Amino acid sequence: MKRIIFIGPPGAGKGTQAARIKDSYSIPWISTGDMFRDAIRGGTPMGLQAKAYVDSGALVPDEIVVGLTLERLAQPDCDKGFLLDGFPRTVVQADALHHELEERGGGIDLVVHLMVDEDELVERLLERGRIEGRADDTEATIRHRLEVYDEETRPVVGYYRRAGICADVDGSGDLDTVFARISDAIDSGE
């Protein structure tokens, strides 16, 4: 059983690394950002609600995100563990997750805190914007998302640090190097 959270600023490589970690540990990868982008593309009621927040780089309100994520975690494939990418992003979300897992008996095993310099983050995000055409990867929106990260999500890192389950991982360098660092952090907790 592995219940893992990836936390880090936009552009830290959470999605890229999560795609590999989910395969090597055979656990479902749950990206709330992907869930929102799918809902927006599909024009679902939740997508319509979330669109303005996602496009501007603001956080979708906690009630919406928490409901969506806890519903996903109740699916049977999460019984063997999961990799959460992009959730929780606020202390309210972290508390909601904690209570849910406590009721089910258990908790989070490890929080991987991916760290990358701000200049490198902006460069990576602008590049991703050019390649993938993501609406929220423009310079002004990127700056806003980094501010939102500092204000809302950094405290979540402190929350898990106090719980003694946070591993700081250097997210700079090539993909294989970062992947090896993350795998080491996961395996050393076994």
**11 belongs to the binding site for ligand AMP (CB under 6 A):** no
Give me the phi and psi of 173, to 5 degrees please: 105, -175
**9 belongs to the binding site for ligand AMP (CB under 6 A):** no
Catalytic residue among 128, 130, 154, 162: 128
Q: Under 8 Å CB-to-CB from 42, ≥6 apart: which residues?
A: none
Q: 80 catalytic, yes or no?
A: no
Q: Which of 12, 18, 30, 65 binds ligand AMP (CB under 6 A)?
A: 65
How many whole angstroms separate alpha carbon 51 and alpha carbon 44?
A: 10
Beta sheet of 166-170, edge-to-edge order: 29-31, 81-85, 2-7, 110-115, 166-170
Closest CA to 24 of 171, 179, 166, 170: 179
**10 belongs to the binding site for ligand AMP (CB under 6 A):** yes
**171 belongs to the binding site for ligand AMP (CB under 6 A):** no
Q: 14 catalytic, yes or no?
A: yes
**160 belongs to the binding site for ligand AMP (CB under 6 A):** no
**54 belongs to the binding site for ligand AMP (CB under 6 A):** yes
Per the CB < 8 A criterion, the answer to whether 148 and 141 are in contact is no
**Least Cβ distance, residue 64 to ligand AMP (angstroms):** 8
**Which residues lie near ligand AMP (CB under 6 A)?**
10, 32-33, 36, 53-54, 57-60, 65, 86-89, 93, 136, 145
Report, as residue numbers or ranges, the catalytic residues.
14, 89, 128, 134, 145
